[in-house]
Every structure is written in C-alpha cells, then in structure tokens.
Chains A and B, each alone.
Chain A
C-alpha cells in the first residue's frame, strides 16, 4: 500500500526563524514528489515539484530536497513569516495504467508566532 508519512505533526516557531519539515514515503512506482501549502479551509497550492533525478528545488524561501534512495524529502522554510502559518502537505505521485494518482501525507501544521 502506498503511504506518505510526515513529521512533525505540528510545529510552532517564532517569526524570522527557519524550520524543516520531513516526509518519508513508500510509493511505487514513483513519478514525482510535491510539497503543497494549504491555508485553513482552502485548497492546497503547489510549492515545489521534483522528479526522480532532482534532489533539490527552491521556490523563494522554500527549498525542498529529495533522496530517492532513502525515499525521504524535506521542506526547509527560511526566515519564516506570519503568512507561512498553514498546513504543509507532501504528495507523492505514481503512474498506474496511464493515470497519475497522488498519495497525500497528513500534513504538518505550522504556526508562526510574532
């Protein structure tokens, strides 16, 4: 069964600090890995996407890494802002029968305090 596990479940940091979120997966066959940001009550918005051959991808203050050998990914947020408070979801995609099916993690809830 394809699974995506994220840690920590929740995180509280002070504005301006850095943080790193973790994602471990068992998805086969692997197609890509995305990190999404989801504000409360809204749909997820894609931050980064990485394929098997990519091991790092940046989007402004967000930097994602991928280790396809250990099946681990991380999302590093630099100089956090209050607007970074949200749920961050790791999604691993798989292709089956010509269709693309994503498996979602439960997300890490990040709260940034002033």
Chain B
C-alpha cells in the first residue's frame, strides 16, 4: 500500500518563473492538503482539495493555485516565483473530513 508520494523531490527555479508540484494521496484517501514549510519553521497551511474543489484556503496569495484530479491526485502551482517561495512543500492526504493526515516526503523548492 503506497503512502503519499510527491514529485519532484527537489527543484531549482529562478525568480519570475512558474512551478508545478505533484502529489498522489495514500490509497483510499480523497482529500489533499498542501503546506509550505520554510527552513526552521513549522508548516503553513496553503489550501485543501476535496472532490476536485478547493475547500479551505490559508493566507497565501493568488499566485498559489491548485487542482485535484478525478483520481484524487493533486497539483500545486506557483506563479511569478519569489525568493521567499523557497521552502519544503508538503502534501498530506486524508479521508473526507477525518482528522488523520498522512504526509508525503515533500518537494524542496529553491528559487534563485
């Protein structure tokens, strides 16, 4: 039974570029949440997707957008990258509105 997987593991971009990160939830899970974790900080909630719709959103600008596909996998898109977007991006999956989230290994994004 595969857990939460994310791709790519590492990514280097330059300011102004756009990036897409991908997440496959744990088998049987239908809800995906995305988090940004800056170095030395706790994860910050970006948004949550359920039934292909954004259900909740944290305090992040519109440059951060997402999508959930019929197979429950999800993408996080960030436009017009800033240096401050450099972070570990974590994806967590859960079943419906249950409170047990399983985290993926993360994608480390470096913006130069």
CB of A99 closer than 8 Å to a CB of B: yes
Q: Which residues of A contact B94 (CB under 8 A)?
A: 100
Most chain B beta-carbon contacts within 10 A, residue among A49, A96, A98: A98
In the complex, residue of chain B having the shortest beta-carbon distance to the beta carbon of A31: B99
Residue contact B88 to A41, C-beta cutoff 8 Å:
yes
Contact with A along B38-81 (1 / 0, CB 8 A): 00111111001010000110000000000000000000000000
Which secondary structure dominates where chain A touches chain B?
strand
| Interface positions of A (Cβ within 8 A of B) | 4, 31-32, 41-46, 49, 89, 93, 95-107, 109
Query: What's the least CB distance linking B97 to chain A, in Å?
Result: 6
With A104-B42, A105-B42, A106-B42 as known contacts, state yes or no: A98 contacts B97, CB within 8 Å.
Answer: yes
Could you tell me the distance between the alpha carbons of A93 and B48 in the complex, rounded to whole angstroms? Answer: 14
In Å, the complex CA distance between A45 and B65 comes to 26
